[in-house]
Amino acid sequence: MKQWIAGMILICSIILLSVSGYFLADMFLQERKDDVLLNQLKKIYEDFENGEATEISEEKVGDGDRNMDGGLASPSVHLGLLALHRENPDCIGWIQIEGTAVDYPVMYHPSEENYYLHRDFYREYSANGSLFLSELCNPDTSDNLIIYGHHMNSGKMFATLEQYKDSAFYLEHPLISYNTLQGEEIYEIFAVLCTPVYTGNDFPYYTFTKAEDARDFWEYIRAVEERALYHTGRSAVFGDKLLTLSTCEYSQKNGRIVIMAKKINQ
């Protein structure tokens, strides 16, 4: 009897080890696939004159080389971004924070909520997913662009945002570069906050995409600054274009860490 029980335990252990090994191998292969794809995308992005602008005429522009309103992409659009946009029209930007792992294309698929949450650039399954612009936003007309990304244990995607809890990290990385079909945009971070979401009594930063008027804008900025983890000495005024980066934060249930920035002229 004891031998039979010991045999069953051994068989169960072998099965569990086999299943665990299978999932670990699958995760490793998925990570490797994602790394290879990202390197390919970066090569495309960087090989096109390393961000230099070009004149784009009607003859050179295809149907996919247009902004969300149907107009031509800006003459100052990054050539690498334009190449990626031609490859997949859902690719509408490339975001970078110098000195961090944030260096990714930004996707936009407004017809379906969270479409790229678990999809890669080519719309295939990926645990890492892609950085994507909220379907509530319009890239051309919204006052506030909200970009989501996973907080991966590997440090990929938006895991870096966690480090902005430390004001020293903010001081070393205060700027966000966002190349779009309208040209390069530089944003200065002015607030970092942590908040729960979908609790019925949370701060709905994820719904603010366009201010109704100056008062609406100021009320939003005041709500942001009241929740900020520390003072940056920066703020935003009515008329500023905002950029919001959001990812999961694990010190609270349904937590999010949110980075708020405003567009600056350089």
Domains of the chain: 11-264 (2.40.260.10)
Render each residue's pLDDT in the chain as its tens digit; 266 residues: 555 555 555 555 555 554 444 344 445 556 778 889 999 999 999 887 554 444 443 333 344 455 555 554 556 788 999 999 999 999 999 999 999 999 999 999 999 999 999 999 999 999 899 999 999 999 999 999 999 999 998 889 999 999 999 999 999 999 999 999 989 999 999 999 999 998 887 899 999 999 999 999 999 999 999 999 999 999 999 999 999 999 999 999 999 999 999 999 75
- What local confidence, expressed as pLDDT, does residue 69 receive? 52
Give the pairing of strands 103-107 and 91-96.
Answer: antiparallel
How far apart (Å, rounded) are the C-alpha atoms in residues 56 and 68? 17
Beta bridge partners of 132: 107, 148
- Token pair, residue 130, equals 């892609």
Residues contacting residue 27 through CB under 8 Å, at least 6 positions apart: 127
Nearest alpha-carbon partner for 146 in 156, 155, 158: 158
Whether residue 256 contacts residue 195, with contact meaning beta carbons closer than 8 Å, is answered with yes
pTM for the complete prediction? 0.82
Residue 181 confidence (pLDDT): 92
For the chain, how big is the Rg over CA atoms in Å? Answer: 22
